[in-house]
Structure formats: structure tokens, C-alpha cells
Amino acid sequence: MGPCAKLRPIQPDMPSLIAGRSTRMEVLELLRRKQTASAENIAAELGITANAVRQHLTNLERDGLVRSQPVRTKRGRPVLQFSLTERADAAFPKRYGQLASMVLAELQEMGGPEMLDEVFARVAHRNAQAVAPTMQGLDFDQKVERLVDWIARAGTLAEQEETPAGVRVSIHNCPFRNTALKFPQVCTITPQLMVELLGQPVSQEKSIHRRDPYCSFLVQRPDPAAD
């Protein structure tokens, strides 16, 4: 889990036209409401030509947002009926971050900042328990690499670099950015995760919450004399 992981609203390779009010988006919205419809039905609802609708449907099906299925009718040839795929759900507005902020605000009012501290400490520990089995038998450097790879899976653009003071782990994209700006406790997940899994002191150098362009953490290397 990343330090500061807002759920992605649209997959990285999702066509940019999805974001605006376009005919393409209107087709998706109509299919969300109707569940299934033919090109002719969609054209009639939107007031555009069936050929224009078919072009949009072809592109949407190519992009994995729409599926088609022939349906038999009482007379004539089967009619293609179109419906949304699971992937299409990502094209519609989501407010996960807003919900998270609302819930955290209520928790803070109920139990104060200490409750939020406890919540995020538990989140860090739970994720550490999930990662720990993959680190058995690894040395320090291998553990750092494994952990950075795991953090990067959340789309955090995480990377590591050697410094005279230790290993710097930088996170250039905060998936929980908006929530973290309101609740800095979100940013404690990553350092607590690192301390538990690596067994070394961790300090935060840069923080998106402090309006730095990215977050970075310095992990102290084990003392060779202790081996």
C-alpha cells in the first residue's frame, strides 16, 4: 500500500475522450441507464445517426468498454445489442476520496487525533503482515527492493537510491493525495510499514502534505558491526 494510495478513477490506457461531455460519454451513460440497447435505439435516444452511433460503439468495444451480442427477433436477422463491460465502470465519476475524508473526519471527531493515529498504525501493520512472508530469507537490500516494488504496484511511481546516509525511497505520485492533504496521518503508513518490515529507523525527508512535490523517506542501513 502506498503512503499517501486515491483509487484510480480511470485506467491509465483509458481514452481521454471519456472524461468530457462527448457523444462517446453519452452513449456510455445511456447504456448504463438502459442496461442494453441496439445502435438504432441509441441513435433515436441521442438524436444522431445510427452510423455515427455504430462508429462510437465500434471504438468503445475495441477499448473494452462495451460488448455486443446478437439477439434473435421474431422476424428478420438477429439484432446486435450492446451493454457495458466491467471496465466501463471506471469511466463514470467516482468520489472515493471524498468518502474517505468524510469517514476520517467522523472518526477524528469521535476519538480525536489519537484514534486516527491508531487506525493508520493498524493499516500499516496489516499491510506489513501481508508483505512479510515474501521477504523471508532476504537480506536488507533485497528486502528494500521487494518493498519498493510492492509499494509501486499502487501506481506510486516509487524508486530507491543510495545515499551516504542510507537508502532513500521516493514516491512521486500519491494515490491518496487529496485525503492526505487533509489528514497527515495517511502519510504515516509508509514509514511505519518500512520500520516493521526492514527493522531499521526511517525518517521522512520530503512530504506532499508539506507541499513538497513528492514524498521521500530515508532508511538507515544496518550497522555492519552488528552482523
In a domain, 7, yes or no: no
Average pLDDT, the chain: 86
- Domain check: are 41 and 124 in the same one? no
Asked if the model's pLDDT at residue 19 lies above 50, the reply is no
Q: Which of 91, 106, 139 is the last residue of a domain?
A: 91
Q: How far is CA 75 from the centre of its chain?
A: 47
Identify whether residues 74 and 115 lie together within a single domain.
Answer: no
| Confidence class for position 155, pLDDT limits 50, 70, 90 | confident
N-terminal to C-terminal alpha carbon distance within the chain: 30
Provide the percentage of residues in the chain whose pLDDT is more than 90.
63
pLDDT category at 227 given cuts 50, 70, 90 is low
Is residue 84 located within the same domain as residue 104?
Answer: no
Bigger pLDDT: 56 vs 5: 56
Q: Is residue 2 part of a domain?
A: no
Query: Residue 7: left if φ>0, alpha if ψ -120 to 50, beta else—which one?
Result: beta
Q: In terms of domains, do 79 and 116 share one?
A: no
Domain assignment present for residue 4? The answer is: no
| pLDDT score of 1 | 47
Looking at residue 181, its pLDDT comes to 84
Q: How confident is the model at residue 97 (pLDDT cuts 50, 70, 90)?
A: confident
- Chosen domain end from 73, 91, 109: 91
Task: Examine the domain organization and report whether 134 and 70 are in the same domain.
Answer: no
Instruction: Give the three cell numbers for residue 227.
Output: 552482523
Burial class for 81, CB neighbours closer than 10 Å (0-12, 13-18, 19+): middle
State which of 91, 111, 137 marks the end of a domain.
91
Q: What is the pLDDT of residue 212?
A: 87
Q: What is the C-alpha to C-alpha distance for residues 123 and 187, in angstroms, rounded to an integer?
A: 11
- Looking at the fold, whether 60 and 128 belong to one and the same domain comes out as no
Which pLDDT belongs to residue 175? 84
Say whether 32 sits in a helix, a strand or coil.
helix
**For residue 48, which phi and psi values (nearest 5 degrees)?**
-130, 170
Would you tell me the crossing angle of helices 50-62 and 23-34 to the nearest 10 degrees?
A: 80
Q: Residue 74's domain spans which residues?
A: 16-91
Q: So what's the pLDDT on residue 226?
A: 63
3-class DSSP state for residue 20?
coil
Q: In Å, what is the CA distance from 123 to each residue of 3, 128, 185? A: 11, 9, 11
**Do residues 170 and 158 touch, judged by C-beta distance below 8 A?**
yes
Span 109-152, pLDDT tens digits: 999 889 999 999 999 999 999 999 999 999 999 999 999 999 99
The CATH number for 35's domain is 1.10.10.10
- Residue 6, pLDDT score: 37
- Tens-digit pLDDT profile for residues 52-69: 999 999 999 999 999 999
Shared domain check, 147 and 217: yes
**Strand-strand pairing, 79-84 and 158-163:** unpaired
Q: Which residues contact 129 (CB under 8 A, 6 or more apart)?
A: none
Q: Which CATH number characterizes residue 194's domain?
A: 3.30.1380.20
Number of domains in the chain: 2
- On whether both 217 and 149 belong to a single domain, the answer is yes
31 plus 46 within the same structural domain: yes
Cα–Cα distances (Å) from 54 to 38, 68, 75, 187, in that order, read 9, 11, 22, 47
- Mean pLDDT calculated for residue range 152-173: 93
* Per-residue pLDDT reduced to its tens digit, 190-225: 999 999 999 999 999 999 888 888 899 999 999 877
Question: C-alpha angle 214/207/211, rounded to 5°?
Answer: 80
